[in-house]
Structure 1
Amino acid sequence: MQVSSRALVFSSLKYAEADLIVSCFTEKFGLKSYLLRGILKSKRGKLRTSMFQPLSLLQIEAYHKDKGSLERINEAKVILPYKTLHTEVVKTSLLLFLSEILKNSVKEEEANPSLFQFIENSLKWLDINEKIANFHLLFLLKLTNFLGFYPDFSENNAPYFNLMEGNFQQHSLGQFCEEGEAIVALIQLDKCEFKYLSELSIPKSVRLKTLDLLLKYYQLHIQGYKAPKSLPVLTQLFH
């Protein structure tokens, strides 16, 4: 079946000598994997490797068999040329981290337009803003809303956050309860939007603790979760 959709590149993996296997989150069909034959050796083809960098936003024309096998992309074009995301080292490292998180977290093989729009709008904000030190924390928290385990902040005056239950409690009830500066930062993030992110003040030391807290939260709530390989680089850059 010939299809047309916007698509966000989650990952690309070299296959054989000249092929790529590309994982894309498409606006109309959810998560899809494509085999791009000969792309690593082709210099004049319609598809170029530069199109499939982490979180590139593409318009694709593809052929879907919908049998659980690798699909085929016939044509693609970049519809949102980033100004900074693929050229600035800090933002490039951040994109790699986010693409790993999304690849490990988003499993939907069906359309989810609201999730697609959230990722797209977040990337647009990141591309044109410079004060981005807390971006990954806010993105991780907001993403849980689409993944189905956004924390319950209704009792956020309680001192403990239960990672397993995803809520705040008055007493520590086991190994999954956390307290301290990272919990305070989490509450700050809940009240924040990207457009106000530059006004959010989280010290570097607390930022690292908050990231660790959020990744533990992901690990508990996502089956088959894998720690991002890019995490050490991100930690060096932002903390």
Structure 2
Amino acid sequence: MLTENNIIVLSKLKYRDYDLIVKCYTQKRGVVSYILRGVLKSKKGQTKTVYFQALSQLQIVENFKPNQSLHGVKEVKPNYIYKSLHTNIYKSAIVLFLAEILSNVLKEEENNDGLYNYIKTALQYLDNEEQYSNFHLLFLLKLTQYLGFQPEKRTSNLSYFNLESGVFEAVNTSIYSISGQNLTLLKRLLGINFDALHTIKVSAKQRREFLNMLLHYFELHLDGFKKPKSLQVLNDVFH
């Protein structure tokens, strides 16, 4: 059945000699994988693959067949054309990192308009923003709301945060309790939106330490979560 759908590209993989499998987060169906048959065979087909860069926002006409794992794409066109996400080396590092995270954590094969719109809007913000070195920190923190383990804000005045339970505590209760600079930055990020991100000033070292803490938080709450391979590239770019 041919239907229109809006998609955000998560990953792509060469299949056989000339095919491409593209994993996407879609507005209507959640996570869907498409097969682009023969696109690597000709220059015309390869031109089509340019659309499917990491986290590209596209509108497609899909040939969706229930109970199949791979679906066809009849037509494709940009839904939003990035100005800098794929050309700015720093933003590109963030994009590759977040695409790997999203490909790892997004599993549901059903629509979630709130999550789709969050990812879409946040990426468009990043595309237009000139101060973005902490973008991925806030993006991941806000993503926890949609994944079901957002830090409990009501007691954020307390002196510790427990990564395992996801709540703030008055005393250090376990090896998962954090304090110090990571706690201070966590509280600040929990209280802002992207338009206030420029007010957060941290060193490269603190940014790396906070990101490692966030990734540990994801590991504790998501079965099978793995630290992304692109983490080293991200750290190198924002050294």
TM-score w.r.t. the length of structure 1 is 0.96
What residue in structure 2 maps to residue 31 of structure 1? 31
Count residues in correspondence: 239
What residue in structure 2 maps to residue 137 of structure 1? 137
What residue in structure 1 maps to residue 78 of structure 2? 78
CA distance in 1, matches of 2:157, 2:69: 49
Q: Percent identity?
A: 44
Give the letter for the 1:22 counterpart: V
CA displacement, residues 42-89 of structure 1 (integer Å, 9 cap, x when unaligned): 322497111110000000101111214211111111121100001111
CA distance in 2, matches of 1:40, 1:99: 22
CA distance in 2, matches of 1:143, 1:100: 14
| Structure 1, gaps ≥5 residues long | none
| Structure 2, gaps ≥5 residues long | none
CA displacement, residues 107-161 of structure 1 (integer Å, 9 cap, x when unaligned): 1100011111111111111011110011000000000011111000221222211
What residue in structure 1 maps to residue 112 of structure 2? 112
User: Contact conserved, 1:46 with 1:76, CA < 8 A, in 2?
Assistant: no
Any runs of at least 4 consecutive aligned residues in structure 1 with deviations exceeding 4 A, and if so which?
none
What residue in structure 2 maps to residue 201 of structure 1? 201
CA distance in 2, matches of 1:190, 1:131: 19
What residue in structure 2 maps to residue 51 of structure 1? 51
- Cα deviation for residue 175 of structure 1 reads 2.0
User: Contact conserved, 1:58 with 1:79, CA < 8 A, in 2?
Assistant: yes
Q: RMSD of aligned C-alpha atoms?
A: 1.3
Query: How do 1:84-233 and structure 2 match up within 5 A?
Result: 84-233=84-233
User: Contact conserved, 2:40 with 2:46, CA < 8 A, in 1?
Assistant: no
- Cα deviation for residue 12 of structure 1 reads 0.3
CA displacement, residues 19-62 of structure 1 (integer Å, 9 cap, x when unaligned): 11100111011110011111122322497111110000000101
